[in-house]
Structure 1
Amino acid sequence: MQTDEPGAVVVLGALFGARYPRLVPAATERGLTVLGVDTRTPGKERFDQARRSHPEHPLAGLAELVWIPGDRPEQVLDQVVRWSAGHRIRAVLAFGEDYVEAAAVVADCLGLPGPGLRAARVCRNKLLQRRYLADVSPRSRLLPADRRVEAATDWAHFPAVVKPVGREASSGVRRVADPAALRAALAGYDDTEPVLVEELVAGHEISVEALVQHGEVIFSAPTGKRTNESGGEFFVEMGHTAPDPELGPARTAAVLQVNREVLARLGFADGIAHAEYRITADGRPVLMEIAARAAGDSILELYHLATGAPMEEALLTVALGEPTSYPATRRYARQVYLPHPPGVLADVRADGLDAPVTWLAERWMWPPVQPRPADADASVQMVVAGRSVGAELTEIRQSGDRSTMFVIDAPSPAELDRLEARCVAAVTVEVRAELPTAVAA
């Protein structure tokens, strides 16, 4: 093993790290070599090409990338062991949900900081979360793939939520109103896919982002959520606010305490956790799910704006086993995804806003955020079109169906709300109806 270098950091789901722009630069600034693993897909190949082509890309400092799917942890471990012949491996991080267990295996095998095998395994499986964390979870039942309809026959708690056990990003999650709707929803899943049915919990939805070191929570905060569930059957996240201005001190303290207890039950040792809760009318936090990785969308960027410090740098020092702290929030930040009608995307405009529209497909990187002093005026940080002109837009049933978003920050919730209203009025998602299918004569 070579020891004449500061060492190397292994990032699993590395190209997903384009959403976390300070991680790779923070590592390379320390002299660390960044080694990446990811799953080859057309989208990931475009990010790979972008990071090779643009020196300013947040992943430009990635020294090496290999393609290994996340569901092959033994191959991932073997690759990291091979890297260790030429590098002193000092840390491993998982950005993609599908690499959480592989990262835990690598950390456990090499004696590196990580969340722990139990935490990783439970956080990757919705059923295990319900069983390990039953005291803070809704009532639920597993519907095995080979007898889903039979197992659901006497389920009587409606409205209910149906969710595949192993998926992510709201994929396949549906609301059902009665037994007939439940049977119809079950018919839409793959024949080999186990499904969870659980009682619907009404209440304000949040996530909790928690940095943990040596089993102690060193930072946690509630992030307000919005979904498109009102009037529909899906639960796609359409907005995030950091920190959540709606909870109030008592409910914030309650949910952060429950989250600490959840992390302790999982034996969560080192890393970042992203847990989602519903807060009932009487203030009770109910766990929806928990992930042993950083949040998706732009939530880490929201905390960069809210605290003035990039969370990726704290996440890196935790992974390296170095003493870590992270500042309290001092400002409010929000990401908003805009709805769109079905059709073909024709244009996205942001008339009268300070930030231009960034078309993600042009450079495959998001604009960097610019943190401001705590009392500075509200600002528009970015407007991003995530789909290309000509893309078919459908009903938003999962995260990948969304098309356009903006990120803003402000010194107070009221100013944040006012700027959001101005952005919603200014940003136009122009969609043309699909051409009718030609009818043969």
Structure 2
Amino acid sequence: MQDIAEQPPWAGVDPVGSSGTPREVLVVCSTFRDHRELPRLARPGLTYLFHDYASTSLEELIDGRAEGLDGVADPIAEIARIRAEVSGRDIAAIVSTDDYPGSALAAVVAKVLGLPGPDPRVNLICQHKYLSRMAQASIVPEAIPPFWAIDVAEGAALPEAIAFPVFVKPMKSFFSIGAQRIDCAAELAEAKRRWVALDDFFLPLERLLEREARVGIGSTRLIAEGLLKGQQVTVEGYAFGGEVNILGVVDSIFFPGTLAFSRFDYPSSLPEDVQERMEEMARRLMGGLGFDNGLFNVEMMYDGREDRIAIIEINPRMASQFADLYEKVDGTNAYEVLLDIGTGVRPSPKRRQGVYQFAASCVLRSFEDYLVVALPSEDQLSALEYLYPDIRVEIHATAGRKLSDELQDGTSFRYGIITLGGRDLAEVLTRFDDVRARLGIALLPVDRAKSVNGGGSRSAGCLQTQGPA
């Protein structure tokens, strides 16, 4: 994280285009996808200020790689700092694609500066799992499983009505960390112990909730829910001027027998009438919540046997991993919608006007830990972009480090994402296999790496990415 004592937490980049004096878009808690996608968009007269605050530290904290937050922990102080830094600048929009704390922080800053953005209170209610469930139950009760708030304080009693097995997750999390099936009270007691000491992780949400909604979290940090079954999807959309619209429905595909994502497919394979019901439910839900002037995504589950749609959770932000899926199939990148809303322009996304009929975001993942021996060079990546001009390649690994040294979900090891388009799923998967082979990623089993470091040949026994990805 940048040293805030020496420089502001953002740095300007060259404008996409210029028309008179460029206006500035403040990208709060900017991500690597923001840096990759925004400069691709031809937006004359706009330049970007990329802001950084706490996200990386929070990831390390929840992942067990840090004992406390370094740098700014109080979001209220950060709001005051942002106001001071942008004073006198021509700010065109305040946007964020960051899950935590970016989207909530951006909503507050937009409100303070009088710019378009979701109501901070609504954003925060969506993010707090229990408050969100309470609101969902009042709007779409038919789609909500039973749920219970869990106090993690030592000696706190469990809700009397709780019925195992349940699915448990923290009131605020990301990357599926801490989300797990719990089959008995003893397992739940073990899960509670993990979260009781993570005051720093919940601090930004606690402080913002106190400011905007006059509620707190305290030690009630977990939520238990009835189990859901079926096919999981993400319904993504946006609200502008009181009107809720849908961008698309994306299928979530898991590795068999796990909760680890294998890929995300667009368009969804669900029947059209089911998708229409999901879209109508998302409109009713987000409209009922009062969500406006922002993007959102609602994770849902469809049980084909019961013909039942259930809501998993709401994310009051765009799903940046899906942004170019829509571009490939529909012809509009979701970042364009983000900029439109942020600058007060009604979005007009295209539909089925993209180069491809199908697109998928495929995950490179292992269920064993490995030492990263080799990663693709810039020349290799350039060659892939020449072969597949619309490809997106993300490498979430570092040569010389173990996969477990990066942010992981606790059950598997993700080390890359490849997004491609094609005629259909079969063609995309064929292209994915080709790309994976060309990447040249080499992984060495951790136990073997220890013996190799003791004097053996380091290249012996390396696993190429066509192995257990």
Q: TM-score range by the shorter chain?
A: 0.7 to 0.9
Match of 2:84 among 78, 82, 85: 82
SS of residue in 2 equivalent to 1:13: coil
Alignment-derived partner of residue 139 in structure 1: 146
Change (3 A) 1:168 1:148: farther
Aligned partners of 1:301 and 1:424: how far apart in 2? 19
Partner SS, residue 405 of structure 1: strand
Number of residue pairs matched by the alignment: 386
SS at match of 2:194: coil
The range that moved more, 107-116 or 4-13, is 4-13
CA contact (8 A) 2:55 2:102 kept: no
CA distance 1:385–1:107, change in 2 (3 Å):
closer
Q: What CA deviation, in whole Å up to 9, does each residue of 1:304-349 have, x standing for no partner? A: 2222332212210111111321011352111111332223122357
Within the candidate set 300, 303, 308, 1:284 is matched to 308
- State the partner residue of 2:342: 319
Judging changes above 3 Å, is the alpha-carbon distance between structure 1 residues 161 and 426 closer, same or farther for their aligned structure 2 residues? farther
User: Counterpart of 1:18?
Assistant: 33
Instruction: Report deviation, 1:92.
Output: 0.7
Would the aligned equivalents of 1:242 and 1:334 in 2 still touch at CA under 8 Å? yes
After superposition, where does 1:32-47 map in structure 2 within 5 Å?
32-39=46-53
Question: 1:79 deviation in Å?
Answer: 3.2
Q: State the partner residue of 1:104.
A: 107
- Give the counterpart letter for 1:388 in structure 2: T
1:125 to 128, 147, 159: 128
Read off the aligned partner of 1:9 and give its amino acid letter.
V
Alignment of 1:332 onto 2:358: yes
From 241, 252, 264, the equivalent of 1:240 is 264
Q: CA deviation at 1:157?
A: 3.5
Question: In the TM superposition, what are the counterparts of 1:210-289 in structure 2 within 5 Å?
Answer: 210-228=237-255, 230-232=256-258, 235-244=259-268, 246-281=269-304, 282-289=306-313
- Looking at structure 1, the residues matched to 172 and 154 of structure 2 have their Cα atoms a distance apart, in angstroms, of 17
- Matched to 1:287, the amino acid is I
Q: Does 1:388 align with 2:403?
A: no
Matching residue within 336, 342, 345 for 2:372: 345
Give CA-to-partner distance per residue, 1:153-182, whole Å, 9 cap, x none: 752232x21101122121111122344433
Relative distance call for 1:423 and 1:37 in structure 2 (3 A) is: closer
Tell me which residue corresponds to 1:61. Answer: none
Structure with higher RCO (Cα < 8 A, 6+ apart): 1
Q: 1:367 to 1:131 in 2, by over 3 A?
A: farther
Q: Secondary structure at the match of 1:39?
A: coil
CA drift at 1:121 = 1.2
Structure 1, gaps ≥5 residues long: 45-66, 359-365, 373-380
Once residues 404 and 167 of structure 1 are traced to their aligned partners in structure 2, the CA distance between those partners, rounded to angstroms, is 21
TM superposition shift of 1:397? 2.8
Q: Which ranges in structure 2 are unaligned for 5 or more consecutive residues?
A: 1-19, 59-69, 200-218, 454-469
Residues 77 and 106, structure 1, Cα contact 8 Å, conserved in 2: yes
2:443 to 423, 430, 434: 430
